[in-house]
A and B are shown apart, each in its own frame.
Chain A
């Protein structure tokens, strides 16, 4: 159904090839999963396979792409290509054009030249298949990431094409939302559709993937049946993140070096009877919690369980409706956010929300200037070295790969030397190696005496890196378990 032959592609204004003599094909009804480090060219591969590179983008192209037996450059326009395939991108929000779920799917159906009765029937089938029937009148701003991604998928299914290309459809989703997408895709595959999937979460899709492709630097470095590909140790580390030994390898040193030698006695974060609500929706329900200096805490739970709302109280972005939050002995209500940012560094899920400077170096300097620190050079270089980005200091932050941008976001925060570092989903969109790298950085920071709090959907991370796991549900902490290595 999709055939790429010796495809090379260079984006306009860049020198490096994004795709480098790449060939592969997918036959009808098969599912191919492509994975690899960020910046390896996976998204470009999606664009190439969908014929978009040949129609929308400039740049240098070589080789041919054939869709359903027809070469893409012979299609008149992208709209014609759209009759053979559908593509779903990772940014779900950008794919919602209309203002209700039903309208979105219906509008995609209306342009198929079908009979009105057929359209109505298909609309209800698709909504059922993607579990959206109950959400039909909701606006996109009031949907969770998983729901939005299902709407984007539904609108693509409305096209009724046999080939589906999905670029990281689950990157920002929690366990439950991810398994819903997996379940939908599995049933689509059983209907005989051909699926090209770019994903980091191979484990979730394991039983439906026919061919696993690993890309690095614009080339395919491994391709074949999943078991065969995974038998190579180096490749396996890219595909499946391995966090084992991150905690145990360093535990002894951590105990010696941490300033709170007996962590249980020095609470650095203390939350008492915290209640918070957005308008009328209660987000946090009488939460009480203490975190000791030097602890590594993972907060887990489904989307909407109140994890992010809780950590926003740590640096004063949100103030309690009732109850108190005390950071290093000081009530957040009497401290300014600037004051708190010296104590608590918060790294949000999407690093692109913070970058604005012209160079990586200036980006890190921004936080230090805000704190009025003048002698910055040494601190900045040390922070960049800490996250292995020393070589990038003169580059434009947005040119870095996703994994590098994530580490830069961490560098921006650690340069400010807060005692507490809070990270919201620090491994989103990273491959196995990159995710491990980030977790190792955090572990080193813990050894230097920082208190680390991470929010994560990933059980592996929580279980292998943290000293303590807090599970949240419906605005409450439902379990608080210490983790010890056997």
Chain B
């Protein structure tokens, strides 16, 4: 089973970059995608991100996210259509051909466009974050966050949150199987998903809480929180990092100029 947001042990160019460089990259792409409302520019950014994934030898990993992204985009566009009608009306969700109730909830170009902007924005944010997480060993994330003087407790919290996503995913599947074996059939579709909540979520959360206790004790007893740290096997800032950072800074400047001149 594919695991969400777990570190993937591979040798790609993104793996070899210094975590700082990667964080700079996330910040740049994150900021650019949030500040931009230009649809064409966002699509171009998505393509760039996909090319980076492909170059980093992580093409397969990004494709696995697309189901989630597709669902998200439908929901987002649906919400904008319902809540932010603007521009031309190109149709209605309830077709006007139906008498009495027909002709309501207009589908407008403005809403669709804004929905797409949101979709691509989230897509970029999700993908760059994923790129960072799956290409960086948690140990290096811890080291980098220590260098940035973020307290160790916060770093560990972040780390555990990431670390347990795949565990919960696997556990959820086991619980589902155990309930299905008891003749449990929640049915398909939205209502089915809704009905399935209690028998799956309650064991999942109860087990996670028990597990959290053990995990907390383990962290304490291994002395992660107070020990004096030996600095070893740390990433060195290499030529490729300088080059990447240069590229990031240049892109950032170029983007800034375009933004000020209101091209975007």
Using known A-B contacts A103-B137, A119-B230, A342-B183, determine if residue A141 contacts B6 with beta carbons closer than 8 Å: yes
> B217: which A residues are within 8 A, CB to CB?
52, 56, 78, 87, 89
Question: Interface digits, B1-38 against A, CB 8 Å rule (1 contact, 0 not)?
Answer: 00100110100000000000000000000000000000
> B163: which A residues are within 8 A, CB to CB?
96-99
Closest to B179 in A: A354
The answer on a CB contact under 8 Å between B184 and A370 is yes
The answer on a CB contact under 8 Å between B230 and A114 is yes
Most buried by B among A96, A110, A367: A110
Closest to B219 in A: A97
> A366: which B residues are within 8 A, CB to CB?
182, 184, 199
Q: Does A440 contact B (CB under 8 A)?
A: no
How distant is A280 from chain B, measured CB to nearest CB, in Å? 13
Using known A-B contacts A78-B220, A112-B230, A119-B232, determine if residue A97 contacts B211 with beta carbons closer than 8 Å: no
The answer on a CB contact under 8 Å between B183 and A94 is no
> B183: which A residues are within 8 A, CB to CB?
337-338, 341-342, 367, 370-371, 416
How distant is B64 from chain A, measured CB to nearest CB, in Å? 13
Using known A-B contacts A89-B214, A94-B214, A110-B230, determine if residue A348 contacts B181 with beta carbons closer than 8 Å: yes
How distant is A313 from chain B, measured CB to nearest CB, in Å? 12
> A81: which B residues are within 8 A, CB to CB?
221
How distant is A256 from chain B, measured CB to nearest CB, in Å? 31
The answer on a CB contact under 8 Å between A352 and B206 is yes
How distant is B230 from chain A, measured CB to nearest CB, in Å? 5
- Stretch of B50-58, B96-104, B170-178 lying at the A interface: B170-178
The answer on a CB contact under 8 Å between B182 and A110 is no
The answer on a CB contact under 8 Å between A346 and B181 is yes
Number of interface residues of A (CB under 8 A): 69
Partner of A354, one of B6, B166, B182: B182
Q: Does A86 contact B (CB under 8 A)?
A: yes
The answer on a CB contact under 8 Å between B182 and A141 is no
The answer on a CB contact under 8 Å between B214 and A337 is no
**From residue 118 to 171 of chain A, which have CB atoms closer than 8 A to chain B?**
119-120, 137, 139, 141, 155-156, 158-159
Q: How far is the CA of A456 from the CA of B21 in the complex (A)?
A: 51
> A337: which B residues are within 8 A, CB to CB?
180-181, 183, 185
Partner of A341, one of B137, B181, B223: B181
Closest to A95 in B: B218
Q: How far is the CA of A120 from the CA of B183 in the complex (A)?
A: 53
> Could you say which interface size class chain B belongs to?
35 or more
The answer on a CB contact under 8 Å between A107 and B230 is no
Using known A-B contacts A100-B7, A337-B185, determine if residue A108 contacts B139 with beta carbons closer than 8 Å: no
Interface of B, helix, strand, loop or mixed by DSSP: helix
Partner of A370, one of B138, B171, B182, B221: B182
Q: Does A70 contact B (CB under 8 A)?
A: no
Q: Does A26 contact B (CB under 8 A)?
A: no
Q: How far is the CA of A85 from the CA of B222 in the complex (A)?
A: 9
The answer on a CB contact under 8 Å between A120 and B203 is no
A-B contact count (CB 8 A): 188
The answer on a CB contact under 8 Å between A82 and B220 is yes
Q: Does A380 contact B (CB under 8 A)?
A: no
Q: Does B226 contact A (CB under 8 A)?
A: yes
How distant is A214 from chain B, measured CB to nearest CB, in Å? 25
How distant is B211 from chain A, measured CB to nearest CB, in Å? 4
Q: How far is the CA of A115 from the CA of B231 in the complex (A)?
A: 9
How distant is B16 from chain A, measured CB to nearest CB, in Å? 16
Using known A-B contacts A78-B221, A112-B227, A113-B227, determine if residue A353 contacts B211 with beta carbons closer than 8 Å: no
The answer on a CB contact under 8 Å between A79 and B226 is yes
Question: Interface digits, B193-235 against A, CB 8 Å rule (1 contact, 0 not)?
Answer: 0000011001100110011101111111111111111111100
Closest to A341 in B: B183
Q: Does B247 contact A (CB under 8 A)?
A: no
The answer on a CB contact under 8 Å between A94 and B174 is no
Using known A-B contacts A141-B6, A353-B207, A354-B179, determine if residue A111 contacts B214 with beta carbons closer than 8 Å: no
The answer on a CB contact under 8 Å between A398 and B138 is no
> B206: which A residues are within 8 A, CB to CB?
352, 355-356, 398
Closest to B7 in A: A99
Using known A-B contacts A99-B138, A366-B182, determine if residue A116 contacts B231 with beta carbons closer than 8 Å: yes
Q: How far is the CA of A100 from the CA of B229 in the complex (A)?
A: 19
> A85: which B residues are within 8 A, CB to CB?
221
> A86: which B residues are within 8 A, CB to CB?
221
What are some 22 contacts across the A-B interface (CB < 8 A)?
A52-B221, A56-B216, A77-B220, A78-B217, A79-B223, A99-B138, A107-B224, A108-B223, A111-B223, A111-B228, A112-B227, A119-B232, A139-B6, A141-B167, A159-B222, A159-B223, A352-B206, A352-B207, A354-B182, A356-B198, A356-B203, A370-B184
The 9 closest A-B pairs by CB, nearest first: A111-B227, A356-B202, A113-B228, A370-B183, A341-B183, A116-B232, A346-B181, A94-B214, A99-B7
10 additional contacts, CB 8 Å, given A78-B221, A110-B232, A353-B178?
Answer: A52-B217, A79-B223, A82-B221, A112-B228, A338-B183, A338-B184, A341-B180, A341-B182, A342-B183, A353-B171
